[in-house]
Each structure stands twice: as structure tokens, then as C-alpha cells.
Amino acid sequence: MHRSDRVNKLTLLTIIAAVVIGVLMVPVILPHIRHPSMIYHISLHTLSVIIALFLSVVSILAYRRKNNSLRLLFMSLGFCLLAGIEFLYLFHATANISDVIIPVVDVELSHAILLIMLTLFGIGVLKVNRP
């Protein structure tokens, strides 16, 4: 990895962190700022959202650079689902939404997304690229 790649990724991480914190500050973080146990929980999920979004963007950029790599496509989709599930957990932790249940199977949506995410990561790792 070149130095410019590290600088670009650090810049990307900084931009994503600033946007996420900027967007979530008023509706999610500020109402709970005086509750120490809640703010730590919210901070944990906020950091998880930032990291998941960063990994999603980096993996999508890698997929676009390396055409026809199904491994990278599956990994990118897995990271996108990870970002989605972390948003869901964040809003659940702040009581902005309640558990979403899939009625037919009586399973929480978050569990179904986690299963799909793990499946995508598994396919991405186990996929054999044929020349």
C-alpha cells in the first residue's frame, strides 16, 4: 500500500466519521448525552456504524477497480449489510425503533440480516476465482 493510499483512506474515514456524527448528533446522541450508560452504548454503535460504512465504501471501491471479482462483490454486500444492521442496533439502543419481527417465521429482522451477512462473507471467502 502506497502512502497516498493510506492518506486517502484516512481522509475517507475522517469524512465518513464527520458525516455520521453530524447526521446523528441531534436526533440520536444529544438526547442521551447526560445518561452515562446510554452514551457509552450509543458511542459503541456509532463507532460501529462508522467502521462498517468505511469498510463498505473501501470494499465497493476495490470491487469497482477489480472488475468481475465476485469475491469482492459478496464481501462488499456483506459490509453494506453490516452497516445496515449497525444502524438498526443504534436506533434500537436509543429506543427510536422497536424490534422488527418477521411475522411469518417470528424472527427479528436483525437476526435475519446477520445470517444473510454471514452467508455473504462466507461465500466471499470460500469463492474460488477461476482464471
The whole-number pLDDT of residue 94 equals: 82
DSSP state of 1: -
- The domain of 76 spans 3-126
Q: Is residue 131 part of a domain?
A: no
Residue 94 lies in a domain: yes
Q: Examine residue 55 and state whether it is found in any structural domain, yes or no.
A: yes
Q: Which residues are registered as beta bridge partners of 102?
A: 107
- Domain membership of residue 12 (yes or no) is yes
pLDDT of residue 95: 74
**Residue 101 backbone dihedrals phi, psi, to 5 degrees:** -105, 135
Predicted local distance difference test score (pLDDT) of residue 128: 67
- Total domain count for the chain? 1
Instruction: Judge contact between 17 and 47, C-beta under 8 A.
Output: no
Q: Which residue has the cell 447526560?
A: 34
Please give, one letter per residue, the 3-state secondary structure of 77-124: HHHHHHHHHHHHHHHHHCCCCCCCEECCCCEEHHHHHHHHHHHHHHHH
**65 located within any domain:** yes
The pLDDT, as a whole number, for residue 1 is 56
The partner residues of 101 in beta bridges, in order of sequence, read 108
Eight-class DSSP state of 68: T
Give the predicted TM-score (pTM) of the model: 0.86
Question: What is the predicted pLDDT for the residue at 9?
Answer: 93
| Assigned C-alpha cell, 21 | 456524527
Q: Which residues of the chain have pLDDT under 50?
A: none
* Sequence-ordered list of residues with C-beta below 8 angstroms from that of 70, at least 6 positions apart, any chain: 124, 127, 129
Q: What is the pLDDT of residue 130?
A: 63
In a domain, 24, yes or no: yes
Residue 40 domain-assigned?
Answer: yes
pLDDT value for 40: 87
